[in-house]
Amino acid sequence: MTHRIGNALGRMFRQAAVVVLLATAGTAAADDQPRVRLETSMGDIVLELLPERAPATVANFLRLVDDDFYDGLIFHRVVAGFVIQAGGYDVGMNYREPPGTVVNEAGNGLVNASGTVAMARLDDPDSADAQFFINVKDNDHLNAGAGKPGYTVFGRVVEGMDVVTEIELSDTTRKAGMAGVPERPIVIERASRVE
């Protein structure tokens, strides 16, 4: 009996030590991750970016943030139970031309899970430019796989998931030939780095 209690206590201490080590490692790693605040007309969303997994994508996104590219753009595609997407159109549904594209980095081990941020693209895997989406559920079918390039995950929401949910549940309509456009524009008033 004493032997069993000793083994159980030993397991508990080992598990506790692993939890502490993981928590400490997570904190240290988190300190190295750039963060971006999206100040939207519905509230703030803070994204933590993961440059060690998607260096080209994060560099592209931060360059666009630093150039105020996202300021004044809307969430133009909102699909409940799927994604909310932004980075292409202003309130008048005018397309904002991005400066370039970025290589697909979807094979980086990150998956399109709820709360992650990924790049939108066309059929060409390397056609992602400025449009991004936030997954509002686990979207495994967007992940890279055998013969399937997938969509590059490059960050995650660390604050404001309630705002993401509010955007997700917005009433939508069809505008400029696109479905899923919120009836009331949801504007990114400002995107900036969190210092």
Q: Are residues 84 and 147 in the same domain?
A: yes
The mean per-residue pLDDT over the stretch 42-65 comes to 98
CATH number of 39's domain: 2.40.100.10
Domain ranges, residue 3:
1-32
pLDDT greater than 80 at residue 27: no
Q: Give the predicted TM-score (pTM) of the model.
A: 0.84
At 13 the pLDDT is 41
Claim to verify: residue 28 and residue 40 sit in the same structural domain: no
Same domain? For 8 and 68 the reply is: no
20 and 47: one domain?
Answer: no
- Considering the domain architecture, whether residues 84 and 159 belong to the same structural domain is answered as yes
* 189, 41 Cβ separation under 8 angstroms: yes
Placement of tokens 């005018």 in the chain: 94
- Report residue 4's pLDDT band, with 50, 70 and 90 as the boundaries: very low
In a shared domain, residues 12 and 50: no
CA distances (Å), origin 15, targets 11, 22, 26:
6, 11, 16
